[in-house]
Amino acid sequence: MRIVIAGGHGQIALRLERLLAARGDEAAGLIRKPEQADELRQLGAEPIVLDLESASVEEVAQRLEGADAAVFAAGAGPGSGVDRKETVDKAAAVLFADAAVRAGVRRFVIVSSMGADPAHEGDEVFDVYLRAKGEADAYVRGLGALDWTILRPGQLTNDAGTGLVRLEAHTGRGPVPRDDVAAVLAELVDTPATAGLTLELISGNAPVSVAVKSVAGN
């Protein structure tokens, strides 16, 4: 499979690219800075320099041509302000989804956030973030040309992955290593029977492949 990942230099994306390359898939990561390219190459992934905050739908669609799946793993990051929550967490996700439709890439997985809700209230940066992620999710759900899956991890940690997770429509809050989020994404991309599902993810007791299979087709 060829999988194109938005936010290709993000912490989850780098882990995902390594996993995909190791299993023989063709991973390509969209990055903003040319100097990030070598790090992707070292993981076995193809770097594609393209800024989703300034690119057109046509430009993104060109980079998605021939892909079997698209993963939106971009994020403005914890140090960013309100404006970039709108331009990255919402607008870039919408752009990437529209580009996938235009390029004919049906399989689409988006990394969201637990608590994402377009009706979330409040004016703090994190409130704006949850609202932006919720609006992006709602937009993707409305695109009938995509076989979408929305993944909403709990509190992200840099602990070593255990390969044991809880993946359900509603898990309740909890931590999850970025390693395990990437492993679940790799499995979801390969499991189109999870299309149409919004799933929460925290650490748990089920091996990743078992957890994904248990929700597939639900």
Residues annotated as catalytic (active site), given as ranges: 129
DSSP one-letter code for 20: H
Instruction: Give the DSSP letter string of 15-63.
Output: HHHHHHHHTT-EEEEEES-GGGHHHHHHHT-EEEE--TTT--HHHHHHH
Helix axes 178-189, 208-215, angle to 10 degrees: 50
The number of C-alpha atoms within 13 Å of 11 and in the hemisphere containing its C-beta is: 13
d(CA 49, CA 67): 17
d(CA 106, CA 85): 26
Using a 10 angstrom Cβ sphere, with 0-12 exposed, 13-18 middle and 19 or more buried, the burial of residue 195 is middle
CB 72 within 8 A of CB 111: yes
d(CA 148, CA 62): 20
d(CA 64, CA 188): 19
